[in-house]
């Protein structure tokens, strides 16, 4: 017998039985029984806004899969470009498809000279690179007018490739400008992650040869950050996309959401917290302070994961690979002691607070020389492929424009009073 729930309106005695499908119940049945009575769900914590076949997440079990493939296997065996293809097209590419896809993305890494010279260089000298990225992504829509043709398959594919290809170029350009270094053009002989590192760090050498262990680490971090189903920035992308905004404008909305410290800025908070703690001798006192309500243990806890974030486990391993090359980040010992102490402490255990993806990622970025301002930018580079997969999916499903309701709690009707009588 199919599972269902029954809702009864106790004012009228009317009841409606709603089947449970794919772990949810349709609001249409609720609305037919209770017209004008809104389902109050601040933060959309219990609302499924869409049906999606991109990413599966089970927060209690600590499971994350892209298109059915466990994140652990993808991090171990795949590349970011292959994962981007998987997210967007639903299947892993064969060799021929992968070569064509890499060629296409590589071909589009350059940005229009006006984006760099007139637009990016017009920012104030101390502009935040994430603020620059948000604006630059939006500005791209004015360079590619065919982007408005969102139901033209060829145009859609072209904008997707352009965005994936140009994000590292824009990100590196924003960094170089913010530290007063000249722009480095893409080197299209290099693979995706190595090309990004070249644009970040190249000085006067004819070719920047990134350390393979660091290139691999960046590629793995890009895989881990490529998608995370209906998070805040993806919801922003879907919301703007549902109004049929072009993909650049929609992605700018997503980038803006990611800029927020509650979303893309948590790894920066971890680095600041570890720096403030300063020594392993201060860890116990810090934990005690958190338990007494003086601040939070940054990089711990997650809205969805009530278990070890599977990405955190992979990142911890990557951290050791990176430190082999860069030397150990001095904050690592504090982080390890903090994690150990928290995982043994009933306060954190009883609240199911485990390390999340951000607990170790900041330490890796810092050891590789990225300034903390670049942390959300590093997150945005790969997340674009997830955002675009969701955008494409919502267009294919021809979803309604996102337009929630509210519970009005303001004044009733009142008469306008002229200013001299107030």
CB of 203 to ligand ACO, least distance (A): 32
> Any catalytic annotation for residue 41?
no
CB of 43 to ligand ACO, least distance (A): 8
Please tell me the distance from the alpha carbon of residue 108 to that of residue 118, in angstroms, as a whole number.
20
Query: Which CA distances in Å does 30 have to 7, 17, 27, 42?
Result: 8, 9, 5, 18
Q: For binding to ligand ACO (CB under 6 A), which residues are involved?
A: 263, 266, 290, 296-303, 351, 353, 356-358
Please tell me the distance from the alpha carbon of residue 22 to that of residue 252, in angstroms, as a whole number.
31
Catalytic residue among 227, 358, 373, 390: 358
CB of 100 to ligand ACO, least distance (A): 32
Torsion of Cα atoms, 254 then 260 then 265 then 266, to 10°: -110
Residue nearest ligand ACO by beta-carbon distance: 301
By beta-carbon proximity to ligand ACO, the closer residue of 182 and 293 is 293
Catalytic residue among 112, 128, 187, 263: 263
CB of 308 to ligand ACO, least distance (A): 13
> Any catalytic annotation for residue 263?
yes
Query: Residue 226 in contact with residue 87, Cβ under 8 Å?
Result: yes
Query: Residue 360 in contact with residue 245, Cβ under 8 Å?
Result: no
Q: How far is CA 78 from the centre of its chain?
A: 19
By beta-carbon proximity to ligand ACO, the closer residue of 131 and 301 is 301
Query: Which CA distances in Å does 412 have to 35, 39, 408, 415, 422?
Result: 21, 22, 10, 10, 18
> Any catalytic annotation for residue 107?
no
By beta-carbon proximity to ligand ACO, the closer residue of 215 and 356 is 356
By beta-carbon proximity to ligand ACO, the closer residue of 41 and 121 is 41
Query: Residue 342 in contact with residue 300, Cβ under 8 Å?
Result: yes
Catalytic residue among 302, 309, 373, 390: 302
By beta-carbon proximity to ligand ACO, the closer residue of 116 and 383 is 383
Closest CA to 382 of 156, 120, 83: 83
CB of 304 to ligand ACO, least distance (A): 8
Would you please indicate which residues are annotated as catalytic (active-site) residues? 263, 302, 358
């Amino acid at each position: 017998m199919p599972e269902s729930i029954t809702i009864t309106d106790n004012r009228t005695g009317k009841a409606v039985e709603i089947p449970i499908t794919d772990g949810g119940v349709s609001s249409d049945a609720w609305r037919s029984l209770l017209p004008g009575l809104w389902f109050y769900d601040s933060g959309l914590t219990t609302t499924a806004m869409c049906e999606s076949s991109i990413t599966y997440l089970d927060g209690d079990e600590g499971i994350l899969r892209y298109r059915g493939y466990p994140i652990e296997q993808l991090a171990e065996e795949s590349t970011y470009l292959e994962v981007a293809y998987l997210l967007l097209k639903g299947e892993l590419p064969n060799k021929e498809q992968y070569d064509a896809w890499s060629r296409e993305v590589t071909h589009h890494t350059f940005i229009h000279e006006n984006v760099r010279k007139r637009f990016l260089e017009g920012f104030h000298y101390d502009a935040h690179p994430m603020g620059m990225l948000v604006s630059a992504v939006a500005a791209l829509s004015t360079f590619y007018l065919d982007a408005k043709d969102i139901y033209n398959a060829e145009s859609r594919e072209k904008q997707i490739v352009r965005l994936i290809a140009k994000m590292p170029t824009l990100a590196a350009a924003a960094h170089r400008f913010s530290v007063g270094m000249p722009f480095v053009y893409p080197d299209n002989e290099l693979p995706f992650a190595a090309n990004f590192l070249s644009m970040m760090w190249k000085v006067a050498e004819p070719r920047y040869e990134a350390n393979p262990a660091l290139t691999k680490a960046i590629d793995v971090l890009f895989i881990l950050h490529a998608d995370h189903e209906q998070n805040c920035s993806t919801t922003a992308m879907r919301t703007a996309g549902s109004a049929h905004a072009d993909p650049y404008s929609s992605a700018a909305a997503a980038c803006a959401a990611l800029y927020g410290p509650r979303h893309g800025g948590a790894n920066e908070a971890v680095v600041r917290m570890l720096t403030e703690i300063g020594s392993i001798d201060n860890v116990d006192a810090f934990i005690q302070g958190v338990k007494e309500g003086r601040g939070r243990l940054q990089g711990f806890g997650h809205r969805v994961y009530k278990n070890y974030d599977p990405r955190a486990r992979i990142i911890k391993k990557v951290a050791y690979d990176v430190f082999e090359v860069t030397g150990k980040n001095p904050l690592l010992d504090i982080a390890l002691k903090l994690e150990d102490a928290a995982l043994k402490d009933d306060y954190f255990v009883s609240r199911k607070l485990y390390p999340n993806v951000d607990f170790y990622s900041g330490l890796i970025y810092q050891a590789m020389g990225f300034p903390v301002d670049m942390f959300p930018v590093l997150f945005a580079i790969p997340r674009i492929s997830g955002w675009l997969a969701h955008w494409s999916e919502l267009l294919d499903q021809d979803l309604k424009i996102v337009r929630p309701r509210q519970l009005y709690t303001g004044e009733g009707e009142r008469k306008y009073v002229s200013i001299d009588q107030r």
